[in-house]
Structure 1
Amino acid sequence: MLAGLLAVGLAVASAVPVFAQERPATFADLAEQVSPSVVNITTSTVVAGRTGPQGVVPEGSPFEDFFNDFGGGDQPRRSSALGSGFVISADGFIVTNNHVIEGADEIEIEFFPGEGQPAELLPAELIGTDPNTDIALLKVEYETPLQFVEFGDSDGVGARVGDWVMAMGNPLGQGFSVSAGIVSARNRSLQGTYDDYIQTDAAINRGNSGGPLFNMDGDVIGVNTAILSPNGGSIGIGFAMSSAVVTNVVDQLEEFGETRRGWLGVRIQDVTVDMVDAIEGLAEARGAMVTDVPPGPAEDAGLEAGDIILVFDGVEIEDTRELVQIVGNSPVGKDVPVEILRAGDMIDVTVTLGRRETAEAAAFPEDGAEAEPETTNMLGMTLSELTPEMAEAMGITGDAGLVIVEVEEGSEAAEKGLVSGDLITEAGQQKIATIADFEARVEEAQDGGRKSLLLLVRRDGAPRFVALGLE
């Protein structure tokens, strides 16, 4: 019997199809095709001079002039840096990283040597930058059309995990250089809000920054931006910002000289697994939960704290990162249909997007908050009703709720990160102002057979939802 089962298992296993992609015999043809569009970038910046060691060359010393003549004085000096880029249009638009040209006084472009290519260094004009995605757009003038490359689909065939890719640039200032590898991973996030990196094992080093990552069709699917390395050199973990992000940024920089991202006007947080039972009508941990709605597009559309955004502009939302990226890539002023879950009901609203760059700071000013202790113990917390004196001391205006004075060590509230000074403004997705309100919400949840209670907690003006168990 065991032998028969084993035979069946082997038969099933052998039936799984395996698709193999032929390894390219050479990258030479591809390199020859795209190299005229790849450029080296040299920047220079005037920096303050360095003063000699204190006490070593005293002022008025006969050695003072000698020291200054050999670069130890306080005269300004010029510092240079190197990077890479690529031409995206015949009239001379060039894409690179913002950190390659940031703070530069002069930017010069060197082209790949060849017939019809500019032989001299060309000065470049800075059109615009986007520090959020580390992308910059330059422009050079030349009497004849320049050879250029086009962006490819970083979400399609040729950019899948395991597909071959080729990087070009100016690593460590050594001049034009080619390296090849595969797509190691996709949708990587480093630190930025709009991160969507392609990870590759193609060698990327300092100086490669701003250079292109090509698919095997010669289309740019990423801009080489960063490496993960303990020693500053390539260890096979490189990151290229995906063309899906870059193309939108470049279009805006070319048209406006700056980015103009869509803005929804809400604070949001991920829906965690332990919240699902406490949220009526939600079957799985997905979507973006609204924690705060200041004056702006979302408030005008009727969104409220506690709403869960499940669909935005026809796209099902998995988490806050996805929502932020989709909103940011949407045009300012666009009317967007949004599907939200509120108190167990699905509601359709339409939001007219604002502009993030001009609205966000005004909508979400930073507040400070500190609490003063009171007594009353519930769910592992010592709670106090918010008095006018406490509100003034905490800098709270317009909010009512319960202040957490103390959290019991080892309690679930402590495990969930609640601390003294937090302000609970909602329980069970209903506003609370008194301990009686809180007790009523607990009782309602228990009578409804729920195992946890959803709390809206504010800390230093920033709200988030936390689910605490009732058992």
Structure 2
Amino acid sequence: MAYTLRPARRITAVFGAAAVSVLMVFGTVTQTEAQARPESFAELAETISPSVVNITTSTTVAGRTGPRGMVPEGSPFEDFFREFQDRNGPNGRPRRSSALGSGFVISEDGFVVTNNHVIENADEILIEFFNGSELPAELVGTDPNTDIALLKVEADGPLPFVRFGDSDTARVGDWVIAMGNPLGQGFSVSAGIVSARNRALSGSYDDYIQTDAAINRGNSGGPLFNMDGDVIGVNTAILSPNGGSIGIGFSMASNVVTNVIDQLQEFGETRRGWLGVSIQDVTDDLVEGIEGLDEARGALVSNVPEGPAMDAGIETGDVIVTFDGVDVEDTRELVRVVGNSPVGKTVRVIVLRDGRTQTLSVTLGRREEAVNASMPQTGGDDTPEGPATAQILGLTLSEMTDELRDELELGTALEGLVVTDVDETSQAYEKGLRAGDVITEAGQQKVTEIPALETRIEEAEEAGRKSLLLLVRRAGDPRFVALGLEE
């Protein structure tokens, strides 16, 4: 059975007119379990309900301009559907679309938190409060990377609000309750536990709390509370095979959200730290090829464009093991800790290079300003005609030529050995190398000629290594691959 991850507000309801039967399961409860389980959530729900809001958005959607999408272009039914559309209204007439979501008030002066996908592209945003009153809201700022949005309403007096708690203190098994507007029902409460922590779904800054508290369409943007009434998550998505809740919901952890909200309040946008490196995880098969590393940890630098890292002396092939006092376990952790660092802050970065650690001082840039910057490619001299070719480690390799540059659209600056064929029974094929890839480094040294690669292999074998670390570029994107030397 296929399972689909969906934003909670976008899930299609599967409930019909038939009555829903409820199965009550009773069992024996020990005295210890009874003491740990709350007798009721009523008092907590009554306290926090006034701060939770329903959100309705309106969006102008362009009308159809023809039957395209309803029937194949050129179909004999094309004219029929065009006439049908003409009878039912002018083509291209805009229409209004509305959507429902949830949110919560975080200050008495009217700041409201919700999901970005709840209000994305909305022309109008209406906030409904627990007492039935309604107010229009203005968008302060959004962060699509964490799916968080900040709104502002203007009220006649102070509004009831809730505070964020420390999501890092939430433990698997702790009781939580979710509030929101599921399926348009409004101000609905569901209870469950923290099922898992530190879930990553699809974003670079993801840190989700998984819960079995019921979350459905319309719950998006609503709060996930701990038993102290503090918000420890923002309900965002569910995992479901049918569009309904099956007890696998995800809430963005409050410690991520608060950092985003602080920036949106101050700047109206996010301002994340930027180190300026391309990185990849250190896998078990790469460890053998990295001198001085005895386990899979850290973030392996695969490219260093112009920016903070280059200015500080970080090099391709370095393994970042510590950033600003935080031990780096993998790339996900490094991305998060860098992104949460202030722009302009000078931090200490410890890298492993040539078997020894070095401490470098890096002044962080701003990621949002650099995200669209192109990655420069390695420069070099013109390659002479008549390139050498060889079959090494399951790869058929050729030295660079102008013809290969043109054929593979490699650009004029890239230097290295071009993969022209890969033995499908080789380890190189298994690890994803394909014709058109360019090997720019071997053993963390540049290679532009076949003999240089052969020398790197000999050096690795003499050092007793079982694999050789290659830096491979495909469509300009670099990655390290460790190939065994027993091919």
- Quick check: 1:198–1:239 contact (8 Å CA) kept in 2? yes
Amino acid at match of 1:378: I
Amino acid at match of 1:33: T
Amino acid at match of 1:184: S
- Quick check: 1:287–1:308 contact (8 Å CA) kept in 2? yes
SS at match of 1:245: helix
Equivalent residue, structure 2, for 1:183: 194
Distance 1:365 1:278 in 2: 25
Question: C-alpha offsets along residues 88-138 of structure 1, whole Å, 9 cap, x if unaligned?
Answer: 00100000000101111110100012xxxxx43100010001111110000
Equivalent residue, structure 2, for 1:344: 355
Equivalent residue, structure 1, for 2:28: none
- Which of 181, 187, 210 matches 1:199? 210
- Is the aligned partner of 1:136 residue 2:136? no
Deviates more, 1:265-274 or 1:397-406: 397-406
- Which of 253, 258, 263 matches 2:274? 263
- Which of 35, 39, 42 matches 1:28? 42
Distance 2:81 2:192 in 1: 54
Name stretches of at least 5 consecutive residues in structure 2 with no aligned partner: 1-31, 68-77, 379-385
Deviates more, 1:404-413 or 1:170-179: 404-413
Following superposition of structure 1 onto structure 2, how do residues 31-70 of structure 1 map, counting pairs within 5 Å? 31-49=45-63, 67-68=88-89
Distance 1:49 1:404 in 2: 49
CA displacement at 1:330 relative to structure 2 = 0.9
The alpha-carbon distance between structure 1 residues 443 and 20, as it changes in their structure 2 partners (threshold 3 A), is farther
Deviates more, 1:172-181 or 1:425-434: 425-434
CA displacement at 1:388 relative to structure 2 = 3.8
Distance 1:396 1:187 in 2: 41
- Which of 255, 273, 287 matches 1:276? 287
SS at match of 2:456: helix
- Is the aligned partner of 1:452 residue 2:452? no
The alpha-carbon distance between structure 1 residues 208 and 418, as it changes in their structure 2 partners (threshold 3 A), is same
Amino acid at match of 1:416: K
Amino acid at match of 1:155: D
Equivalent residue, structure 2, for 1:227: 238
Deviates more, 1:380-389 or 1:277-286: 380-389
Equivalent residue, structure 1, for 2:254: 243
Equivalent residue, structure 1, for 2:24: none
- Which of 127, 143, 147 matches 2:140? 127
Following superposition of structure 1 onto structure 2, how do residues 11-410 of structure 1 map, counting pairs within 5 Å? 22-49=36-63, 67-68=88-89, 75-113=93-131, 119-156=132-169, 159-364=170-375, 375-393=389-407, 394-410=409-425
- Quick check: 1:366–1:460 contact (8 Å CA) kept in 2? no
Distance 1:444 1:38 in 2: 65
**What is the Cα-based RMSD across aligned positions, in Å?**
2.3
The alpha-carbon distance between structure 1 residues 56 and 373, as it changes in their structure 2 partners (threshold 3 A), is farther
Distance 2:80 2:277 in 1: 58
The alpha-carbon distance between structure 1 residues 366 and 460, as it changes in their structure 2 partners (threshold 3 A), is farther
CA displacement at 1:431 relative to structure 2 = 1.1
Equivalent residue, structure 2, for 1:12: none
Distance 2:445 2:61 in 1: 58
Output the TM-score relative to the length of structure 2: 0.85
CA displacement at 1:51 relative to structure 2 = 7.1
CA displacement at 1:267 relative to structure 2 = 0.5
Distance 2:387 2:149 in 1: 51
Deviates more, 1:43-52 or 1:441-450: 43-52
Output the TM-score relative to the length of structure 1: 0.88
Amino acid at match of 1:435: I
Equivalent residue, structure 2, for 1:10: none
Indicate the percent of aligned positions where both proteins have the same amino acid.
71
The alpha-carbon distance between structure 1 residues 101 and 415, as it changes in their structure 2 partners (threshold 3 A), is same
Distance 1:99 1:266 in 2: 30
SS at match of 1:155: helix
Amino acid at match of 1:462: D
Distance 1:374 1:135 in 2: 54
- Which of 415, 440, 445 matches 1:425? 440
Equivalent residue, structure 1, for 2:5: none
CA displacement at 1:399 relative to structure 2 = 3.1
Amino acid at match of 2:423: E
- Is the aligned partner of 1:468 residue 2:486? no
The alpha-carbon distance between structure 1 residues 365 and 87, as it changes in their structure 2 partners (threshold 3 A), is farther
Distance 1:90 1:43 in 2: 23
CA displacement at 1:19 relative to structure 2 = 10
Distance 2:228 2:176 in 1: 10
- Quick check: 1:265–1:360 contact (8 Å CA) kept in 2? no
CA displacement at 1:275 relative to structure 2 = 1.2
- Quick check: 1:86–1:211 contact (8 Å CA) kept in 2? yes
